[in-house]
Structure 1
Amino acid sequence: MFPNKYTFKTVLYGLALFAVLSCRQEAGTSGGARDDKEERVALVIHGGAGTILRKNLSPEREAQYRSVLEKALDTGYAVLQRGGSSLDAVERVVVMLEDSPLFNAGKGAVFTSDGRNELDASVMDGQSLNAGAVAGVTTVKNPVSLARAVMERSEHVMLAREGAEAFAREQGLEMVPEGYFHTGERMRALKAVQEKARRENRKQQASAYDPFIRDSKYGTVGCVALDRKGNLAAATSTGGMTNKRWGRIGDSPVIGAGTYANNNTCAVSSTGWGEFFIRGVVAYDISALMEYRGHTLEQAAREVIRKKLPEMGGNGGIIAVDHKGNIVMEFNTPGMYRAGIGADGQKHIGIFGED
């Protein structure tokens, strides 16, 4: 079959070389490349934006905020490192923040004008563009979990008030009495807002555009994440605005305003003056600038939050992550509770503008 031993040895050598190169190539495409992709996970958290000044926050209180933010960040990031989905990570983080009385979401939510807590939340999957949201719920312990249930177990995107709560019970989610969400700090904020309105001889139902009321609102929570499979997700949860009218709904449960995720661009969670985030479709606008104008995530976020939103009269901030694991935490207020780990693995936790 072979003319001589040298030809035979040459063929064997060639076959061996081919096998080695094939193994290396396979390792490079399915092993090495996969490892690179698996390292490209990222997660960002916010706990609300507003007039957050160092002089108004005691060292003890600041330490509390930083501790909760770091614990939630580490918990969500661990989900991603273990190969968990971005949806699982953002829900897990937001549940933790809803359970903390430090933030305006879940326990610790602000009060409406009639002394109740009405909670809103949303979640979006960047792979399928599926989304779920709830508005005005009063007895669901973790509204973000209900939002995910709406997304995954119903044909709808948003459910509100009694209908949302009935669905929560059907799905076996944890329900709590309305008093569970009450905190003395939030009640004092409500009374301060209403007293200010009375002193100024206005109706007790003050305008939602009063700066004093706006700044009593910060604390909305949110999370965005990129998982090992390259899927993005976003979630947002809030108690709304202090002294808000019965039935008022802000941007947090509005897909495209308070929450948006698209694997082709980015995942965004918003916090701030909700009426303007709705009018500007802020979360989607950032994605659109990336998709249609070729902006980087940083460029898009800065244009929307630093330019377009203030020109409308709004304030607040966003957190976002793109499909490459780049993260931004952009805001036009004095401060924003925030924490993040990008694809580079570097951890950042901040509260004030200078952090």
Structure 2
Amino acid sequence: MNTPPIRLLIHGGAGAIKRHQLTAEREQAYTQALAASLAAGYAVLAAGGSSVDAVIAAIVVLEDSPVFNAGKGSVFSHAGHNEMDASIMDGATRMAGAVAGVRTIRNPIQAAHAVMTKSTHVLLIGEGAETFASEQGIEIVDASYFHTQFRWNQLQKAIAEERVLLDHDADSNTPADEDGKYGTVGAVALDCHGNLAAGTSTGGLTNKRFGRVGDSPIIGAGTYADNRSVAVSATGTGEMFIRAAAAFNTAAQVQLQRKPVAEAADGTLAEIAAIGGDGGLIVLNTNGDYAMRFNTSGMYRGMTGNDGIAHIGIFSGNETPHSLP
């Protein structure tokens, strides 16, 4: 009798990650956080838990790590606030929940799950989302919890560069992330019951203005899960991922055109590139087939399955096995 497959994929953002700029210490910090995230999600799956719970467990670890642009490590808006977005979707029921523009919820992915399971809505924003989360017992913290000097310095640099750029290019809105990464985290999982789930969480763009929201909390853009096709979590130029309905687009190619998961992911990324965007996707189906695809120089990513071995990668090429902590 074959053992039902379990699988967990995670990402910590894609972008122009330059190998020569990534110090050994920072690479180790990323790798350790990715391994801890995989271990948390794997523990849920190995115990017979649900894909939804595994996705939450994996993303909470990434939100609690200051090295990723989500939760604790979120970047600052132009006004000096941390404004976070997250979403989650259950592939068995196609129920979904999301929050956007929240400033005091320690783990936005937990709030997104509460929206999915404890409300009749899909997306809540700002103070309303925070009030709802508080009523549901989700941990609320002072906004200062999200303040890291590294991200604050990025904002000051971005503001200074924006003033220079605006003198020459009024349309420039280049995010000033030191490693050139679109800092979104996400996870997709397949549990022993054959159910898929996907989740995504982000702090958005450094120096963003006017209540900007990207693709991460948009079901069908940054997150999608359907047992009939795939679970998807995206990272990249959010506006283009929204315009391409990236996550749903990928799922539709698998379900309607019967494309393999990698081919579908590449097709979506090609559409995004055609309108000026880039980034990456993690994709998983109910057979355990998966793809971690990106059209940038790198994507922080990891995968584990029934054997519990963590495979972690940053740049193009094969993922390196790591022992789960």
Equivalence for 1:65: 30
Structure 1 residue 353: Cα displacement? 2.2
Counterpart amino acid of 1:193? A
2-side partners of 1:188 and 1:207: how far apart?
A: 23
Aligned-partner residue type, residue 81 of structure 1: A
Q: Is 1:268 the counterpart of 2:235 in the alignment?
A: no
* Count of residues in correspondence between the two structures: 318
- 2:48 is aligned, of 83, 101, 112, to 83
1:248 aligned partner, one-letter code? R
Which of 30, 48, 65 pairs up with 1:100? 65
Q: 1:215 to 1:68 in 2, by over 3 A?
A: closer
2:73–2:146 CA contact under 8 A, matched in 1: yes
2:322 maps to what in 1?
A: none
Per the TM alignment, residue 209 of structure 1 is displaced from its structure 2 partner at its CA by 4.0
Structure 2 Cα separation of the partners of residues 201 and 130 of structure 1: 43
3-state secondary structure, aligned to 1:107: helix
Gaps of 5+ in 2: 319-325
Distance 1:164 1:295, change over 3 A: same
What CA distance in whole angstroms lies between the structure 2 residues aligned with 1:122 and 1:99? Answer: 16
Identity %: 52
Are the aligned partners of 2:78 and 2:206 in contact in 1 as well (CA < 8 Å)? yes
Partner of residue 143, structure 1: 108
Assess if the C-alpha contact under 8 Å between 2:42 and 2:308 holds in 1.
no
User: CA offsets, 1:159-203, max 9 Å, x none?
Assistant: 000110110111111100111101111111111111112234549
Contact 1:234-1:269 within 8 A present in 2 as well = yes
TM-score, length basis structure 2: 0.93
Task: Find the aligned partners of 2:185 and 2:31 in 1 and give their Cα distance.
Answer: 14
- Give the alignment of 1:185-264 within 5 angstroms: 185-202=150-167, 207=171, 209-210=173-174, 212=176, 216=180, 218-264=182-228
Rounded to whole Å, the distance in 1 between the matches of 2:151 and 2:199 is 23
Deviation at 1:210, TM superposition (A): 2.5
Alignment deviations for residues 235-258 of structure 1 (CA, whole Å, 9 cap, x no partner) = 100000111013111000000000
1:36, CA displacement in angstroms? 2.4
Equivalent residue number for residue 124 of structure 2:
159
- Paired residue for 1:118? 83
Q: Could you tell me the TM-score, scaled by structure 1's length?
A: 0.86
Greater gyration radius: 1
Among 171, 178, 190, the residue aligned to 2:143: 178
Pairwise CA RMSD of aligned residues?
1.9
